[in-house]
Amino acid sequence: MCDMKLPQADKTPSRRRPIRKIGILLVPDFALMSYASAVEPFRAANRLSGRDLYQWRHISTDGEPVRASNGVQIVPENAVGDIVDFDLLIVCAGGNPAEFAHSPTLAWLRQVARSGTRIAGVSGGPLIVARAELLEGYRCTIHWEHVPIFIEEFPRHDLRRSLFEIDRDRLSCSGGTAALDMMHALIEEDHGHELASDVAEWFLHTHVRSGDGPQRMPVRERLAVGDPKLVRVLETMDDNLENPVSRQKLAELASISVRQLERLFKAHLSRSIADHYMELRLRRARVLLVQSTLSVLEVAVASGFISASHFSRAYKTRFGRSPRADRRPILAPKPEALSHRRHS
């Protein structure tokens, strides 16, 4: 078992250390927040140290500009397939990474990894790194929205529900502002605590979180629920969507009667136990329909439904469309686009 702690920071003065070269592979529809949180700390480290400690280049599948989920485009300096020399390659994805199945990119990632480059995934990026067969045997994490499809596709991987994971030459981050925390850890590893703290303060990031912190707000805060018995029940429901727990068992967990538990749900959430559980299961089903290739029946079972017809009726009532209408094909950039890539 590997050590959970980061390697000790090199005591060599920063001015003597080689510049860290970083590649950023941008997947179409990437999350701009995740990208900025991953890149800006390196820029700040250069600015605050007065030296070029880090350099970075952007890569796209075809050398053409890549559009973020909010419409902003970034022009890359490299394309997939280029011969590159990076210390760290970050795969930044968002939106629906399950749609990305571009075999030349996956093969290129394997090639880059074989050269000794550390590979990182941010937000939905870990799913793509896993598809490149680069996460087996490593701790990893991914944005909570992509957890169901990751588990369905890679059930034996050591997936954690953490903010970020650094395991030898593989790094993964759940995305959003968690990338600030992971880059703080990397800068501290490279150049010490003082510079890393200066970078955090520059971004008003006054509370740097450890990698094993939770991704989501606790149920108590997320649903504005203060009753400890109700909180315990809600947490149990969140953790048991494929095999829903009966009302009687939930009431026993809270050490109250079913009638009392129903009253708590009505008072705090303005809905019944059954209605809340149905909402949770249908939300999970929608994620699986959009992000996976599971059949509608398989999605129904994974969301706690015994009958496909019952699932379809409930889904249409909740979302106004059938489950099949929300299926999306797995897409991939056209391979021939690589012949038009730019070289630098």
Classify 134 in phi/psi space as left (phi over 0), alpha (psi -120 to 50) or beta: alpha
pLDDT tens sequence for the chain (344 residues): 344 333 344 444 444 568 999 999 999 999 999 999 999 999 999 999 999 999 999 999 999 999 999 999 999 999 999 988 999 999 999 877 888 889 999 999 999 999 999 999 999 999 999 999 999 999 999 998 888 889 888 999 999 989 999 999 999 999 999 999 999 999 999 999 999 999 999 998 888 888 877 777 677 777 888 889 999 999 999 889 888 999 999 999 999 999 999 999 999 999 999 999 999 999 989 888 887 777 899 899 989 998 889 999 999 999 998 998 887 654 444 443 333 333 33
Helix (H, G, I), strand (E, B) or coil at 148: helix
The amino acid at 263: R
Distance CA 279, CA 284 (A): 9
Q: Tell me the Ramachandran region of residue 270: left when phi exceeds 0, alpha when psi lies from -120 to 50, beta otherwise.
A: left
CA distance 136 to 307: 34
Q: Which amino acid is at 234?
A: L
**Size (the chain), residues:** 344
Q: How far apart are the first and last CA of the chain?
A: 41
Query: Are the C-beta atoms of residues 30 and 99 closer than 8 Å to each other?
Result: no
* Domains annotated on the chain, with CATH: 14-215 (3.40.50.880), 219-324 (1.10.10.60)
Give me the helix-helix angle, 247-254 and 228-239, nearest 10°. 140
